Amino acid sequence: MNMETPVIELRHVDKHFGLLHVLKDISLKVYRGEVVVILGPSGSGKSTLCRTVNRLETIDSGEILIDGEPMPAEGRKLASLRAKIGMVFQSFNLFAHMTILDNLTLAPVDVLRIGKKEARMEAMRLLERVGVADQARKVPAQLSGGQQQRAAIARALAMRPEAILFDEPTSALDPEMISEVLNVMTSLASDGMTMLIVTHEMNFARKVADRVIFMDDGMIVEESDPEAFFLHPQSERARDFLNAVHSH
Amino acid sequence: MSVSNLLSQYGDRYIQALLTTWKLTAFSFAAAFALGVLITILRVCPIKPLRIAGDFYVQVFRNIPGAALLILLVYALPYLKIIFSYEVCVLIATTLIPSAFCSEHLMSGMNTIAPGQIEAARALGLTFFQMIRRIVIPQALRSTVLPMTNLLVATMLTTSLASQVPMRPMDLTGLVSYINTHATGGVTAFAISAALYCATALLIGFTGSLIDRKVRILR
Amino acid sequence: MKQTSIRDLLYETPGPAARKKIRVWTGVALAAIAALIALIVRQFAETGQLAERYWSFFAKATTWRFLGQGLLTTLEAALTGAAIAFALGFTLMRGKLRRNRILRGISTALIEFTRGVPTLLFIYFFFLVVPQMGWKLSAFWKITLPCAISACGVVAEALRAGVNAVPKGQTEAALSLGMTETRLFYRVVFPQAIRFVIPSLIAELVIVLKDTTFAYVVTCADLMQNAKVLISNYDAMLSVYLVVAVIYILINYLLNKLSDVLAVRLHSPAERSAAA
């Protein structure tokens, strides 16, 4: 039994979109330094689950705790708790009117109140790390999808987050750019970053995940270590899913 | 009458009329912009009745003909014991109508912002007002430079309403009808005013596209 | 399909405190709006403008028949003006897209000229100068022609935007099939372009319609002019002008709504099927 407080914890979370029951009694813990990958067919609710963690989606019932603290419903408290959890989106969502560098320094300066100079230095260091430092003065539209996504990861890192949520970070990328983003994520994982990742990249999941969660129809169907999941899936649905994926 | 004849007789008046048109345009546009921002805030605020009121305002003033509004202000309002000078009536009309269009432009400017960027701002921990200040307003303003340029020209054209009331000094349109009812200025009198209007419009358009090229957001 | 607007995206699902705030402010706003309406009504009452004699004649059929006649003239002038503006605008657009530099220059100059000069100036030109030149025009044409000229530059630019929006690949495909350029324009490019610009053409019709309110300058019996007759008959300035203003607003509102609906419908067949 792990006695440590999880960085992210969901307790009996339920959510409906109208008549659709998209999250059914979801409970989940992500501990410090852990990499948890959520797999599942599209429409299984995995993206929604990821977005509820920082309240980009509200929930109908249940509890979400960050560092043991319940997620506030609104206001400054919500904002400052969100600041602790980074998020990387499918469509990058860099601010179109700012340079890459300004994208990285905006929140550290405005939210964390870090000095401009320090924020810039930190931003450049992070851009270096994800390999787009030479693009710092450009605006997002001048970058390739892979570069944008790497910059978006750097933007999340600039907030010195306790954990980062990845909502299908490679789904909008051309095939040749997927690996450059996955490489950055792999290096983050090996540096001990706490990560909750929704993805369709099976090889990546198998290599990087500490734990795999398989979702279908709004429920967590299986939760196990990656080797066990990929070699011996317990449920019928997981077997079907893996067969469908591998037959591609 | 020849151009030189006209200019020697009415040259000063043309300059005065041009300045009047410019003054009316500048004042109306500034006021319309301020009012447009205010109306837009009402239209996007979360309070339903204020949204509806803002929408109603825009529909009324974007659809009312300038002449109808001016006539209401000048001739009908006094029956309600609300009396403005001619000049104020013109300014009200040339402000209210552009303000509705200004709000429409601001709304469509805001609608160019990708929803994902608002989510990203939230996820980074920006508060609502930080998001508005750093993400929404800059993008909305930068993508409305050309519509606002066109609005400034439209405002200038609207100020010709001033010719419909006995206002002194006269604007460019008023002066032409004055010259032509006192003498036969003929085509030339019109050509001078038209040229001055056009030159102003071209100047505004040129400046606008210069600014737009500088601040346009690549997408 | 309901379009999501920035209005809704700006706000998150409100929490309990935000919900309470919204409720309170909704109450305050409703009270303020009610107070404003009450103030306006009181002003009407105190100045005697609610008196029956100012409003009772609106119950008569003759009043509406008379206003209707004026409205018909207004619409006739607006539609005729818009049609002429379309013809002129089309010609200018063709001119601006020509390779011939002189034609292109003249067209560009005319477009900029008509876009930069107020309609009223054109109206005064037709009212004051045209008769001096010995050209006798009826009141109807004295208002319709200047409105049309004033609108044609904007129409030309709208049409040009539509033509430019047609994908270049089609032009190349058609040319490689051996179509002549004229044929290509009328058979391939323009039919598509017109779809793109129908909404802005309707918006332009609204502008022409608004401009026709200046018909009183040339004493053409449009809606505004007929309103004046009613006013002198019944000595009811405020009520008549208000009603007339509302008629104009409603017509223009409906035209703009139509333009919005068509804009969504006509946007492009591909996008429509993708959205469905």
**Residue A159 CB: number of other CB atoms within 10 A?**
23
C17 and A73 within 8 Å at the Cβ level: the answer is: yes
Say which residue, C268 or B96, is predicted with more confidence. Answer: B96
Which three-class secondary structure state does DSSP give residue A164?
A: strand
Q: Find, in chain B, the residue whose alpha carbon is nearest to that of C127.
A: B177
What DSSP character marks residue A64?
A: E
Indicate if the pLDDT at residue C64 is higher than 90: yes
Q: What is the dihedral of CA A206, A209, A212, A216, to 10 degrees?
A: -80
Interchain contact A74–C (C-beta under 8 A): yes
Interchain contact B122–A (C-beta under 8 A): yes
Give residue-wise pLDDT tens across range B14-38.
999 999 999 999 999 999 999 999 9
Domains of chain C, by residue range, sit at 15-47, 62-275
> Which residues 142-181 of A are in CB contact (within 8 Å) with B?
142, 152, 155-156, 159
State ipTM: 0.92
Q: Among 2.40.50.140, 1.10.3720.10, 3.40.605.10, 3.30.420.40, name the CATH number for the domain at C62-275.
A: 1.10.3720.10
Min Cα distance B12 → chain A (Å) is 47
Cβ contacts from B onto C, under 8 A:
155
B110 and C120 within 8 Å at the Cβ level: the answer is: no
Indicate if the pLDDT at residue C10 is higher than 80: yes
A96 and B120 within 8 Å at the Cβ level: the answer is: no
Structural domain including B141 reads 3-215
Indicate if the pLDDT at residue C272 is higher than 70: no
User: Please, what is the Cα angle at C163 between C157 and C164, to 5 degrees?
Assistant: 90
C-chain residues within 8 Å CB-CB of B164? 120
Q: What is the pLDDT of residue C2?
A: 42
- pLDDT band of residue C179 (cuts 50, 70, 90) is confident
pLDDT > 90: what percent of chain B? 82
Indicate if the pLDDT at residue C266 is higher than 80: no
Q: Which domain CATH number covers B206?
A: 1.10.3720.10
C17 and A72 within 8 Å at the Cβ level: the answer is: no
Q: In degrees rounded to 5, what are phi and psi of residue A220?
A: -80, 115
Cβ contacts from A onto B, under 8 A:
79
Mean pLDDT of C13-42: 95
| pTM for this predicted structure | 0.91
Which amino acid does the sequence have at A66? I
Interchain contact A55–C (C-beta under 8 A): yes
Place of tokens 């929604």: A48
Q: What is the pLDDT of residue C195?
A: 87
C112 and B198 within 8 Å at the Cβ level: the answer is: yes
B201 and C242 within 8 Å at the Cβ level: the answer is: no
SS3 content of chain C, % helix, strand, coil (to 5): 85, 0, 15
C-chain residues within 8 Å CB-CB of A74? 12, 14-18
Indicate if the pLDDT at residue A60 is higher than 80: yes
* Helix and strand numbers, DSSP H then E, in chain A: 9, 10
Q: Find, in chain B, the residue whose alpha carbon is nearest to that of C215.
A: B67
Give residue-wise pLDDT tens across range C94-106.
999 888 899 999 9
Indicate if the pLDDT at residue A173 is higher than 50: yes
Interchain contact A73–C (C-beta under 8 A): yes
B-chain residues within 8 Å CB-CB of C49? 79-80
B118 and C49 within 8 Å at the Cβ level: the answer is: no
B125 vs A83, A141, A152: nearest CB? A83
Interchain contact C4–B (C-beta under 8 A): yes
- pLDDT band of residue B68 (cuts 50, 70, 90) is very high
Strand pairing report for A20-30 and A8-17: antiparallel
Q: In degrees rounded to 5, what are phi and psi of residue C143?
A: -95, -35
A91 vs B116, B123, B126: nearest CB? B116
Q: What's the burial of C52, exposed, middle or buried (CB within 10 Å: 0-12/13-18/19+)?
A: exposed
* Helix and strand numbers, DSSP H then E, in chain C: 14, 0
Structure tokens given for B41: 């805030």
Please give the helix or strand (H or E) that residue C94 lies within, else none.
Answer: helix C61-96
Close Cβ partners of B183 (under 8 Å, ≥ 6 residues apart): B1
Give residue-wise pLDDT tens across range B42-61.
999 999 999 999 999 999 99
Q: What is the pLDDT of residue A246?
A: 75
Of B25, B63, B155, which to mutate for an interface test with C (greatest number of C Cβ within 10 Å)?
A: B63
**Residue C255 CB: number of other CB atoms within 10 A?**
17
Q: Find, in chain B, the residue whose alpha carbon is nearest to that of A81.
A: B125
Q: What is the pLDDT of residue C273?
A: 43
C14 vs A56, A72, A74: nearest CB? A74
- pLDDT band of residue B160 (cuts 50, 70, 90) is very high
Q: Find, in chain A, the residue whose alpha carbon is nearest to that of B112.
A: A96
Question: How far, in Å, CA of C150 to CA of C143, rounded?
Answer: 11
A106 and B124 within 8 Å at the Cβ level: the answer is: yes
B134 vs A79, A82, A106: nearest CB? A106
What's the mean per-residue pLDDT of chain A?
A: 94
Give residue-wise pLDDT tens across range C224-265.
888 988 998 888 999 999 999 999 999 999 999 999 888 888
Q: Give the range among B63-72, B93-102, C166-175, C199-208 with minimum mean pLDDT.
A: C166-175
C-chain residues within 8 Å CB-CB of B62? 252, 256
Which three-class secondary structure state does DSSP give residue C236?
A: coil
Q: What is the pLDDT of residue A123?
A: 97
Give the count of domains, chain B. Answer: 1
Question: How far, in Å, CA of C156 to CA of A96, rounded?
Answer: 33
Residue A60, Ramachandran bin (φ over 0: left; ψ between -120 and 50: alpha; else beta): alpha
Cβ contacts from A onto C, under 8 A:
18
Interchain contact A18–C (C-beta under 8 A): no
What's the mean per-residue pLDDT of chain C?
A: 89
**Residue B126 CB: number of other CB atoms within 10 A?**
23
Q: Are B184 and B19 in contact (CB under 8 A)?
A: no
